Structure 1
């Protein structure tokens, strides 16, 4: 019978494996709609209200440079546009165009259908319990990193 340390190590391995599989699924899902997962994530991050590249990067937990590159791609594809930022002249706000909103809706709908199929065999209560456990783990990770109250 494995001890607690073994169970913890196995849980971490399972979470990382699941994260990798979900990233691959996300890339296929986005690709089916002519996007990359990174473009999908940035579109989603700025879908509620315009954000600067640094704000979107913080929200996504990635580098500002990566978000800036993706944002520039989205603008060149006419899925997003830059607006003047009244709070910071040198850091424009990224906002979705109507085409960007349509692309985001298509990929989000496709993902929702895949998730329904993927989780059909898992009872809702099991999903809620697993999510609650992961949220507690994320809170502890935030505390470890010195980032209070982000979850």
Structure 2
């Protein structure tokens, strides 16, 4: 049976897509709780972990850039950065592209900390999810990225949230 013929016999994707979306919120909460359990004793939160992960993956960023990448308002991201800085995990540096908007970067301690945490997490993920194939993971990533893209568009069409202030995009 060809792909086109299979598609004709499959149910419409609407209900299944809704089930995927319905599962995202509890999954997110569960992942945050699991990450915070793993961070117990470090003084870090799941939010700081997310900020440090973005800095490790993409290098120094401004707070507004981090906020956009994380899908959060600037103010909570600034608090996460301030707390990570107080722990000696991040620091601010001059931004050659903008005099007033400083770059946030990992300190050597922050780099070592997030690398160690992520190595432990990757080992645990491989152990617990060894039944998933590379194809399964590729498909999941494609679907999640597509959902994120579509919902970003929907969110942009929505009226602005009262806390959105149009911060400098740099």
Give the TM-score normalised by the residue count of structure 1: 0.81
Residue 50 (structure 1) shift: 1.4
**Structure 1 segment 28-43 matched on structure 2, within 5 A:** 28-31=37-40, 33-43=42-52
Alignment pair present for 1:101 and 2:116? no
Question: Could you list the runs of 4 or more consecutive aligned residues of structure 1 that deviate by over 6 angstroms after TM superposition?
Answer: none
Residue 99 (structure 1) shift: 0.5
Structure showing greater relative contact order (alpha-carbon pairs closer than 8 Å, 6 or more residues apart): 2
State the Cα RMSD in Å: 2.4
User: 1:130 pairs with 137, 140, 148, which one?
Assistant: 140
Gaps of 5+ in 2: 1-10, 158-170
- Is contact 1:33–1:106 with CA below 8 Å preserved after alignment? no
User: 1:72 pairs with 55, 79, 82, which one?
Assistant: 82
CA distance in structure 2 between the aligned counterparts of 1:143 and 1:53, rounded to whole angstroms: 22
Alignment pair present for 1:19 and 2:22? no
1:28-81 deviation line (CA, Å, top 9, x unaligned): 223364421111111122223211111111111111111111111122211111
Q: Which residue of 2 aligns with 1:44?
A: 53
Alignment pair present for 1:10 and 2:32? no
Question: Rg bigger for which structure?
Answer: 2
Alignment pair present for 1:118 and 2:128? yes
Q: How many residues are matched? A: 146
Structure 1 residues 84, 118: CA separation in 2 closer, same or farther (over 3 Å shift)?
A: same
CA distance in structure 2 between the aligned counterparts of 1:134 and 1:110, rounded to whole angstroms: 24
CA distance in structure 1 between the aligned counterparts of 2:138 and 2:13, rounded to whole angstroms: 23
